[in-house]
Structure 1
Amino acid sequence: MLSPETFFDTLRRKGIDLFAGVPDSLLSGICACIEDRCPKSSHVITANEGNAIALAAGFHLSTGKTAAVYMQNSGLGNCINPLTSLTDPEVYRIPVLLIIGWRGEPSVKDEPQHVKQGRITEKQLNLLEIPYWILDGNTDMKKVVQQAVDSLNKNASPAAILVRKNTFSPYKSSQKTTMPSTLKREDALACILRLAKDDLIISTTGKTSREVYALRESFNQKQRDFLTVGSMGHTSSIALGVALGRPEKRVICLDGDGSLLMHMGAIPVIGSMKPENFIHVLLNNGAHESVGGQPTVANRVDFASLSLACGYKKYEKVCDIEGIQRAWQKLGREKGPLMLEVVIKTGSRADLGRPSTTPAENKQAFMQAAMEGAVHG
C-alpha cells in the first residue's frame, strides 16, 4: 500500500498548491492527510464536485497554478458541466488534477449503487477526453504523478489519477469534528421511526439508510422506507416528489448535513411548492461520516433562518430524545413544509450491517406502502 503522506508531498513538490473536493471512503487516508497538512486557505471541502472544479479553475485564473480535485467516481456526474464547458481545452484550457476513488471497479465486490458507475468510469473519462492513470498499491506512484503533471503542463487541461481500492495505507487525522450533542444518530432514528408510525420515509445515503434498515429489522417491522443508497444530495427532492404524489400522507425526509449542503438549491424549491405534508429532518453531525468523518460547514450554517427564508413554515432544533419528542408534537400540529434539525454526534456501531434486500426490492416495498389506500381510476 502507498503512503498518503508521500503521495501528498509528491503532489506539493510538483506544484499542486490547492486541494478541493468531496471526501470518498477509498481516499479517506488522502483526505485526512490533506486536512492535517494543508493550511486552511489551501484546502476546501466543497458542497459538491462541480463546485470543486470551478474553484480550481478560479484558483488557476488568479495564480497560474494548478489545483487538485478529489472525489468518488460517482461525483463525475456533478462535474460534467464544468469539465466540458469551463476547463476543457476547447474552451478555457484550464489544468486540474482529478484524484478519483474507483468505487465499483469491475471484478471488485461493492455495493449495488457503485457497480454500474465503476463499470463505466473509464468510459466516462475517455468520453470526456481526459487522460488518466490508474494507481494501486503496487504502482510506481512518483512515475504516475509525473505523467499526470506532464499532461497538465503540456495540454493545459484536466488529467486524472484513478485510485483503486486499498491503494493507500490508513491515516488517522488529528482533526476532530465536534458537535454539542451526545445523541447517537441511531437512537435519534429509532425515536423518529416510532413517532412517524405510518408516515412515508425517505432516508439519505450512507449510514442513515443502513441504520433505518437495521432498526426496522430490530422492531420486526416491514421495510416501508425508501433507502436512498446513492444519489447523494437528492434525498429531499425525492421526498418532495413523494409528497406531491401522495398529498394525503405525511412524508418524512431523513437528510444529512453533507447531503443537504450538496444540492441546497432544493430547499427554496420545496419552500415554493409548499407541500403541507412534508417534514424535513436534518441529522446534523457536521461531518461526512460515511466516508471518513471529514468536516462539513454545517456547524456554521443558520438552518433556522435559511429554511424560514426559503418558505418553510416552522423550524425546530433539538439535541436529545426528549427534544425530538417535544418538537414532533409541536410540528405535528402545523402544516408543512417543516424542518427539524437534530444535532447528533459522529459515530456508529461497529457491527452495523447493510440492507440484505436489493434496491429493486426496496423500491417495491416502499411503493406498496406509498399506495396503500390509494384510489385508482
Structure 2
Amino acid sequence: MVSVDKLYDTLKASGVRLFTGVPDSLLKNLCAYITDNSDATHNIIAANEGAAVGIAAGHYLATGKVPVVYMQNSGIGNAVNPLMSLVDEKVYSMPVLLIIGWRGEPGVHDEPQHVKQGEVTIPLLEAMQIPYIVLPNEDTEALAAVQAIVNDCKKLSKPHAIIIRKNTFGKYKLKNQAINDYPLSREEALTILVKALDIDSVIVSTTGKLSRELFELREALSQCHSKDFLTVGSMGHSSSIALGIALEKPDKRIFCFDGDGAFIMHMGAISNIGALAPKNLVHVVFNNGAHESVGGQPTLGFGIDICAIAKACGYKETLTVTTEQEIKALSGRINTMDGPVLIELRVRIDSRDNLGRPTTTPIQNKEAFMTNLKN
C-alpha cells in the first residue's frame, strides 16, 4: 500500500501548495492526512468538484503553482465544464493535477450507482484528452510515478490525472475530526421524524447513510418501501427530484430528506423551489457538519445560515430543531404547513458500524415508488 504521508510529502516537494476538492471513501486516508497537515486556505473542501477546479485555476493564476483537485470519479461530471472550457490546453492551458477515486472499477464489486461511472472513468479522461496514470500500490513505484506526472503537468501546462484503485492507500485516521454535541444522532432524529409523518407521505432521501438508515427503519417498523425514493447517487440533486414530484403531485405531501454536504453541493437548486413555491414540499436538511460517509471531513454546514439562505430564496417558513422534544412539537403541523418549508435538523456525527444497505435494486425502488405515486 502507498503511505499517504510519503505521497503528501512528494506532492509538496514538487511544489504543490493547494489541495481542494470533495472527499471520497477511496481517498479518505489521503484526505484525512491533508486535512491534518494543511491549513484551511490550502485544503479547501469545495461545494462541488467543478467549484474545486475553479479554485484551483485561481490559485494557479495567482501563484504559478500546480494545484491538486481530489474527487470521487462520480465528481468528474461536475468538473467537466471547467475542465473543458477553463483549464484545457485549447483555452487557458492550466496545469491541474486531478486525484480521482475509482469507484466501480470493472471487475471490482461495488454499489449500483458506481458501476457505470467505473466503466467510463478512463474513457471519459481519454475523451477529454487528459493524460492519466493508475497509481501503483507500492511506495517506491508510486512516488516516482507521482513525481513524473507532476513534472509532465507543469511542462505541458494542462490537466493530468492520477486514478486511485480501492485499497491503494495505507490507513490514516483523521485527528482534526469535526465534532459537535447535539443530542440526537441522524438515525435517532430520522426515526422520530418519520413516525410523525402521515402514512401517505412521500420521501425523497439523499445519497449516503441517510437513505440506508431510512431503508432499515422501514424494515424495523415492518413498513413498505414504496413511499421512499432512495437517491443512491446524484449527490445534491434530491431536492430537485422532490421538486419535480411535488409540482406534478400537488395532492401528496412530499418530503426531501437532505444532508448538509448534499445541500451545499448544488445549493442553487433551492432558488427554483422558492420561486415555484410548491405548497406540498417540506425540505429537511440533516446537518452534522461533516462528510461522514467518506471519512468525516468537515463541511460548511455549521458555518452558513441554511435557514436564512432558504428564506432569501423564497421558502415560506424555515426553522432549526435539535432535540426530540422540538421534533415532536412539530408533529402537529409538519403534515399541514404551507410549503415550501425548510427544517434544519442539527444532529451529532454518529452512525452504526453494522448499518446495512438496501436489499432492493434501484430499478425495483423506482418501479415500486412510481406505482405508489400513481395510486
* Alignment TM-score, normalising by the size of structure 2: 0.97
Show the counterpart of 1:127.
127
Deviates more, 1:326-335 or 1:316-325: 326-335
Query: C-alpha displacement at 1:138, in angstroms?
Result: 3.2
1:302 aligns with 2:305: yes
Show the counterpart of 2:57.
57
Give the aligned CA root-mean-square deviation in angstroms: 1.0
Show the counterpart of 1:138.
138
Residues 308 and 314, structure 1, Cα contact 8 Å, conserved in 2 = yes
Query: C-alpha displacement at 1:180, in angstroms?
Result: 3.8
Q: Secondary structure at the residue paired with 1:50?
A: helix
How big is each residue's C-alpha offset from its partner over 1:116-150, in whole Å with a ceiling of 9 and x where there is no partner? 10011000000000000001423611121122112
CA distance in 2, matches of 1:116, 1:138: 28
CA distance in 2, matches of 1:369, 1:180: 38
Residues 284 and 298, structure 1, Cα contact 8 Å, conserved in 2 = yes
Q: Secondary structure at the residue paired with 1:91?
A: coil
Deviates more, 1:171-180 or 1:336-345: 171-180
Show the counterpart of 2:330.
327
1:151 aligns with 2:171: no
Unaligned runs of 5+ in 2: none
Number of residue pairs matched by the alignment: 372
1:254 aligns with 2:262: no
Query: C-alpha displacement at 1:11, in angstroms?
Result: 0.4
Query: C-alpha displacement at 1:334, in angstroms?
Result: 2.4
Unaligned runs of 5+ in 1: 373-377
Question: What are the equivalent positions in structure 2 for 1:163-312 lying under 5 Å apart?
Answer: 163-196=164-197, 197-224=199-226, 225-312=228-315
CA distance in 1, matches of 2:302, 2:100: 27
1:371 aligns with 2:374: yes
Query: C-alpha displacement at 1:333, in angstroms?
Result: 3.9
CA distance in 1, matches of 2:64, 2:86: 15
CA distance in 1, matches of 2:372, 2:107: 36
Query: C-alpha displacement at 1:5, in angstroms?
Result: 0.7
Identity across matched positions, percent: 50
Query: Which stretches of structure 1, 4 residues or longer, exceed 4 Å deviation after superposition?
Result: none
CA distance in 1, matches of 2:53, 2:91: 14
CA distance in 2, matches of 1:73, 1:227: 21
Residues 313 and 335, structure 1, Cα contact 8 Å, conserved in 2 = yes
What is the one-letter code of the residue matched to 2:325?
Answer: E
Deviates more, 1:93-102 or 1:144-153: 144-153
Residues 72 and 102, structure 2, Cα contact 8 Å, conserved in 1 = yes
What is the one-letter code of the residue matched to 1:33?
Answer: Y
CA distance in 2, matches of 1:86, 1:328: 49
Q: Secondary structure at the residue paired with 1:201?
A: strand
